[in-house]
Structure 1
Amino acid sequence: MVAKTVKPKPPYPTDVSDEEWQFCRPYLELMTEEAPQREHSLLDVFNAVGYVVRAGCPWRMLHHGLAPSPFWIGQVISSLN
């Protein structure tokens, strides 16, 4: 049996740099250890929001490799509360 290798995805022009991510990360990681843990990478969520803000695409037109739109809507609403 041959093991599958995962190729790194090419970054979008709107993806944040490692330095920018290290600056933003502490402000976004506010979950307690007892809370249900994320299913998707916080960095991917943050980059997707930046992509939508920059590109202006509707949620339903996000790249198919990202989480479904109800997930994004819930994330945005919970971050505003």
Structure 2
Amino acid sequence: MAGITRKTKRYPSDLTDEEWERIAPLMPPANRRGRKRTTDFREIINALRYLVRSGCGWEMLPVHFGPWQTVYWWFRRLMRRFLFQTIHDVCLMLDREAAGRETSPSGGVIDSQSIKAPHAKTRGYDAGKKIVGRKRHIAVDTDGRLLLVQLTTADISDSAGGQMILDAIRKRWPWMKHLFADEPMTASS
């Protein structure tokens, strides 16, 4: 019965076999010493994708994913290892390669968007858009694939947020040569 369940997707957010084959080598290896690991990483990733897509809380996670405390523990451990950033970057490069592009982007577009967040712990006031909330500074490649996101308070200027994006892009995508923006930035690039 377990084999049948594994072949069928329970939720739209579940990984396909092809997606799992791509990210399985990136999962942390089992310890050589100590108790043998019983956690199925595919189920952990499925649970995390379910959480993101559904917007439910940890305690509302369906029981067949296992105890929510276990999923949360692995989430924190995988975050500390930058696993999700690595998965994102590898999948982006594979997608670019499948589209006939160079694996690492050489050009991109940056922009920002103010969003309402009246109940957020940290927020600011964007006087230009008259919004209390946060601001997303986003960089995408020329085909629209997400490269980087920086979340700030809404009172951060586009030039300051753009400089943060530039600094982060230089570290994560060092072959980036051109970045386009909708208005001139005062910060040096």
Give the aligned partner of residue 41 of structure 1: 40
Stretches of 4+ aligned residues off by more than 6 angstroms: none
Q: How many aligned residue pairs are there?
A: 76
For 2:39, the aligned partner's letter is H
Give the aligned partner of residue 27 of structure 1: 26
Percent identity of equivalent pairs: 26
Looking at structure 1, the residues matched to 35 and 53 of structure 2 have their Cα atoms a distance apart, in angstroms, of 30
Give the aligned partner of residue 51 of structure 1: 50
Looking at structure 2, the residues matched to 62 and 72 of structure 1 have their Cα atoms a distance apart, in angstroms, of 9
Looking at structure 1, the residues matched to 35 and 44 of structure 2 have their Cα atoms a distance apart, in angstroms, of 16
Would the aligned equivalents of 1:40 and 1:67 in 2 still touch at CA under 8 Å? no
* Higher RCO (CA 8 Å, separation ≥ 6 residues): 1
Looking at structure 1, the residues matched to 36 and 48 of structure 2 have their Cα atoms a distance apart, in angstroms, of 20
Deviation of 1:65 (Å)? 1.5
Q: TM-score of the superposition, structure 1-length normalised? A: 0.77
RMSD of aligned alpha carbons: 1.8
Q: Deviations over 1:11-53 (max 9, x none)?
A: 1111111111111111113333335332231111111111111
More strand by share: 2
Q: Gapped runs of 5+ residues in structure 2?
A: 81-189
Would the aligned equivalents of 2:30 and 2:37 in 1 still touch at CA under 8 Å? no
Looking at structure 1, the residues matched to 45 and 36 of structure 2 have their Cα atoms a distance apart, in angstroms, of 16
Q: Deviations over 1:53-79 (max 9, x none)?
A: 111111111111221121112111111
Q: TM-score of the superposition, structure 2-length normalised? A: 0.36
Looking at structure 2, the residues matched to 75 and 36 of structure 1 have their Cα atoms a distance apart, in angstroms, of 16
Q: Gapped runs of 5+ residues in structure 1?
A: 1-5
Give the aligned partner of residue 13 of structure 1: 12
Give the aligned partner of residue 79 of structure 2: 80
Structure number, greater radius of gyration? 2
